[in-house]
Structure 1
């Protein structure tokens, strides 16, 4: 049986980047690692913390090594050093506060081992498993109303007939507790499901559900996204799911990824083989900022970034207003000459 300290260390590892941002704030993320000077949060690059489990066998997320001193440990050691704790009990208490875990006595009084915590990657995987194929479903009909028709069972899309909707403070009381929803799987570079994106819709109108937040994502989103096609040297990325699905109507052979928000688009993790990335920009300040941030990171990695600009607000607006053929013509003018013959 896993000891309480081991369980807390593992949970810290599941949230390794958040721990580093809190307790090693003078460092920065580079690839799969957080780099900083030492365990006392000194600026520098000697200490590196693994942010996610990889297939190279070098250790689980949260393990760190200081190349200068040879020291190594886990994130409990990081918290102890950052807070100057005199005892391990203090460190465990601080880690519990960070993870929002109850005290041990409360855990015994209120055990819930079989229920995934709301908003976690595990809860996202359970929702994905409970969803149905989108092909031929009302979810596909909802997308078709926006002229998105090239969806099939192989896509990272599913349909849930009654997906629970938690009302926000902007929703009026007494609303429906569930609506049909399109469920999109968020995956990492290895293909593992780390989250889901939900789009609730009204089955009568096939438009967005009349709720304050008809689109929501949950799980581990940072660096990940909704992926269409295998990684390749030339790919496209965009903020919204409908934006990427609309691009795919015009350029079906190009692998694509939806980041789901401007901030997450800017933080997408680059595949090692990527050489050129087309970025579908929404015509708003958030889209401009995401493009600038992504381009800066890509330049450091030797990846060329080319912007794709819609004529209207986004590429789904273009698709609905002008049709697929017009969208192809508009993209042809923005593609590099080497890609026009292959993809258009």
Structure 2
């Protein structure tokens, strides 16, 4: 095939394979009729973003809209958002790779060198920084109540609380955004720069998640980055997990370890290790998405010479394990798995 074909041609070819495209780049989503629904352009779980799978009523396949933000476009636009801070040239290279026209997809390249975000990404990052800066420490707030209700005691400066964060109820909500309390989590790159803010909307009446579509949402840039929790002592090992609560559940049981939460299985597979790390423990969920993310991250770690080990919960995720079995049994289970994979540690 001619690699110099127009962007419109590439977009049309991606649209012809829209469902395969969605399953490849948005595995956290699900098919609903003629649409693939996912939380946002980062690939988080939810239903705010809808991608049309087949042409219908004069509307093209592959067109999409994020009803929470108003963003829309074709699959080239969506792929660029999904890959994060990459150039249009790299996006087109990834599109051609998906279509079988070229090797070396952008998502698998060595992304440790920081890329310059485009204008729209910079705007979202600025909004994320402003939101997180407006938050306050979580102790004594609804956010602390939420985390403690899930058995989590490992907190840190990466977490804040805000009582009135802008919120749209769902994709069909045409009303002006409301405000709701939310747990905020700071997403950073390996230099410590804030690239995004994760929002977990809460229900004041129950202390749990808000009863809305997609109560967990991401603002800014997540690709390759994470929410980080340091133990206070320099370590060459890092535990990298999926969801925030699952990662903090491990941290509750193993407070001596540094943590990085990637928020989704997709972004777990795209994590960029910080300098100085010699071994990464991949703490995935016990499902197919988690297994696939672990394989993808392991493949990248092998290429750059970083050792790794897998941590898999007994139940669906590590927060399930924490709540079902308690902190001490979870600690023993984790250390047993880590020792079996080469960790040398005395557990007093």
Bin of the TM-score, shorter chain as denominator length:
0.5 to 0.7
Instruction: Report if aligned partners of 1:170, 1:212 keep a CA contact under 8 Å in 2.
Output: no
Q: Shift in Å at residue 22 of structure 1? A: 2.7
- Of the candidates 158, 161, 164, which is equivalent to residue 163 of structure 2? 161
Q: Which residue of 2 aligns with 1:236?
A: 239
- Of the candidates 293, 296, 303, which is equivalent to residue 293 of structure 1? 296
Q: Shift in Å at residue 271 of structure 1? A: 1.7
Instruction: Report if aligned partners of 1:267, 1:294 keep a CA contact under 8 Å in 2.
Output: yes
Alpha-carbon distance in structure 2 between the residues aligned to 1:292 and 1:170: 37
Q: Secondary structure at the match of 2:86?
A: helix
Alpha-carbon distance in structure 1 between the residues aligned to 2:202 and 2:209: 4
Instruction: Report if aligned partners of 2:241, 2:268 keep a CA contact under 8 Å in 1.
Output: yes
TM-score normalised by L of structure 1: 0.67
Instruction: Report if aligned partners of 2:111, 2:272 keep a CA contact under 8 Å in 1.
Output: no
Alpha-carbon distance in structure 1 between the residues aligned to 2:305 and 2:314: 29
Alpha-carbon distance in structure 1 between the residues aligned to 2:119 and 2:191: 26
Structure 1 residues 254-300: Cα deviation after superposition (integer angstroms, max 9, x where no partner): 11100011111111111231221111111111111100100111111
Gaps of 5+ in 2: 1-83, 95-101
The CA RMSD over aligned residues, in Å, is 2.9
Q: Shift in Å at residue 150 of structure 1? A: 2.9
Gaps of 5+ in 1: 1-14, 34-49, 53-60, 63-97, 102-115
Structure 1 residues 26-73: Cα deviation after superposition (integer angstroms, max 9, x where no partner): 55444347xxxxxxxxxxxxxxxx752xxxxxxxx38xxxxxxxxxxx
Alpha-carbon distance in structure 1 between the residues aligned to 2:346 and 2:258: 12
Q: Shift in Å at residue 336 of structure 1? A: 2.7
- Of the candidates 20, 38, 63, which is equivalent to residue 89 of structure 2? 20
- Of the candidates 121, 125, 131, which is equivalent to residue 127 of structure 1? 131
Taking a change above 3 Å as real, the CA distance of residues 298 and 130 of structure 1, as seen in their structure-2 partners, is same
Moved more, 272-281 or 125-134: 272-281
Count of aligned pairs: 254
- Written as runs of structure 1 = structure 2, the 5 A alignment for 1:1-344 is 16-25=85-94, 26=102, 27-29=104-106, 30-32=109-111, 51-52=114-115, 61=116, 117=123, 120-151=124-155, 154-169=156-171, 177-229=178-230, 232-336=235-339, 339=343, 341=345
Alpha-carbon distance in structure 2 between the residues aligned to 1:340 and 1:100: 46
Q: Shift in Å at residue 160 of structure 1? A: 0.6
Q: Shift in Å at residue 19 of structure 1? A: 1.9
Question: Which structure has the larger Rg?
Answer: 1
Taking a change above 3 Å as real, the CA distance of residues 162 and 125 of structure 1, as seen in their structure-2 partners, is same
Ranked by relative contact order (alpha carbons within 8 Å, sequence separation 6 or more), the top structure is 2
Q: Which residue of 2 aligns with 1:110?
A: none
Q: Secondary structure at the match of 1:318?
A: helix
Taking a change above 3 Å as real, the CA distance of residues 186 and 300 of structure 1, as seen in their structure-2 partners, is same
Q: Which residue of 2 aligns with 1:55?
A: none
